[in-house]
Amino acid sequence: MVPKPKTEGASASAAFFKPGTVVEVSSEDEGFRGSWFSGTIIRHLASDRFLVEYHNLMADDKSSKHLRELLHIRQLRPILPPETGQIFKFGDEVDAFYNDGWWEGYITEELENDKFAVYFRASKEQLVFSKEQLRIHREWFDHEWVPPLQQKNDEFNEAAKPDEFVQGAIVEVSSDEDGFSGAWFEATIVEIKGNDKFVVEYQTLLADDDSNLLKEEIDVFHIRPPPPNTNGDGQFKLLDEVDALYNDGWWVGVISKVLADSKYVIYFRSSNEELEFHHSHLRLHQDWIHGKWVMPSKVCTEFAETL
Q: What is the pLDDT along the chain (307 residues), one digit of tens a residue?
A: 333 444 444 455 666 788 888 889 998 787 788 899 998 999 888 778 999 999 888 887 776 788 999 999 999 999 888 777 788 999 899 999 998 899 999 999 999 999 999 999 888 899 999 998 999 999 988 788 888 886 444 444 444 445 678 888 889 998 877 778 779 999 999 998 876 789 999 988 888 877 788 999 998 888 999 888 777 666 899 988 899 999 989 999 999 999 999 999 999 987 889 999 999 899 999 888 777 888 765 433 333 333 3
233 belongs to a structural domain:
no
Eight-state DSSP code of residue 80: P
Q: Is residue 134 part of a domain?
A: yes
How many structural domains are present in the chain?
A: 4
For residues 297 and 96, the answer to whether their CB atoms sit within 8 Å is: yes
Domain co-membership, 71 together with 109: no
Would you state the pLDDT for residue 233?
A: 67
Q: Mark whether 67 and 11 lie in a shared domain.
A: yes
In a domain? residue 2: no
Answer yes or no: do 155 and 212 share one domain.
Answer: no
Burial of 103 (0-12, 13-18, 19+ CB in 10 A): buried
The secondary structure of residue 168, as a DSSP letter, is T
Amino acid at 92: D
- Which amino acid, residue 287? D
Q: Which residues contact 186 (CB under 8 A, 6 or more apart)?
A: 170, 171, 172, 173, 202, 203, 204, 226
Please check whether residues 23 and 71 belong to one and the same domain: yes
pLDDT at position 17: 82
In sequence order, what are the beta bridge partners of 119?
Answer: 106, 126
Same domain flag for 26 and 66: yes
pLDDT given at position 195: 63
Q: Provide the pLDDT for residue 30.
A: 77
Q: Which domain holds residue 281?
A: 241-285
Q: Is residue 42 part of a domain?
A: yes
Q: Name the DSSP letter for residue 227.
A: P
| Phi-psi region at 29: left, alpha or beta (left = phi > 0; alpha = psi -120 to 50) | beta
Long-range interactions of 154-163: CB distance < 8 A, separation 24+: 155/81, 155/84, 156/81, 156/82, 159/81, 159/82, 159/290, 159/291, 160/220, 160/290, 160/291, 161/196, 161/220, 162/225, 162/291
CB 109 within 8 A of CB 90: yes
pLDDT reported for residue 68: 92
CATH of the domain at 203: 2.30.30
DSSP state of 211: S
What pLDDT does 301 receive?
Answer: 35
Q: What is the model's pLDDT at position 9?
A: 47
